[in-house]
Amino acid sequence: MAALVALVALLAGCSELPAPGPQTTPSPTVDGQATLVRVVDGDTVVARIAGHDERVRLIGIDTPESVKPTSPVECFGKEASRHLTSLLPSGTALRLVGDAEPRDRYGRLLAYVYREPDGLFVNEAMARDGFAAPLSIPPNVAHRAQLVAAARTAHGSRKGLWGACSDADVSALALG
């Protein structure tokens, strides 16, 4: 999360981004078609893949907490969940694309999520619309620069959480 704190500071006052880390090629073993079962929160969904329900964590973004049992609801957490639900209603066809690691430490499938049939890159839309901050956890960084740029645009426009939440709230997201 320290990287997210640094990124929030970067977004708040700098005009130059650091050079992105090495780009990776998405893993073909995680790629595939799925159907949305439900949105868990702003950065996690449940998707049906080959007849099995899987928790899927959207790679490269972080949203304020809204359902974590040991954490209070954070500024813009419920709004982030509602926005993801508006982008991905139950039953939406999805294309999931993996990166270097297929799962996180909690066992969730890690994926870049695309809405079918229009191909909307959901991870980027959440950042661009101001509902998510970028979160780079190497080696899963294939779209790092794209997601940072989307969040920078939202931040510069004071869109979403960047306009609604105080600096302390944004810091809580970064540390959370």
**Looking at the annotation, which residues are catalytic?**
57, 65, 108
Calpha distance 17→33 (Å, rounded): 34
Q: Which of 167, 147, 119 is nearest to 43 (CA)?
A: 147
Burial group, residue 105, by CB count within 10 angstroms (0-12, 13-18, 19+): exposed
**CA–CA distance from 2 to each of 19, 103, 173 (Å)?**
17, 21, 11
Calpha distance 83→163 (Å, rounded): 16
Q: Which of 133, 141, 138 is nearest to 176 (CA)?
A: 133
Alpha helices in 28-131 (DSSP H): 77-87, 122-128
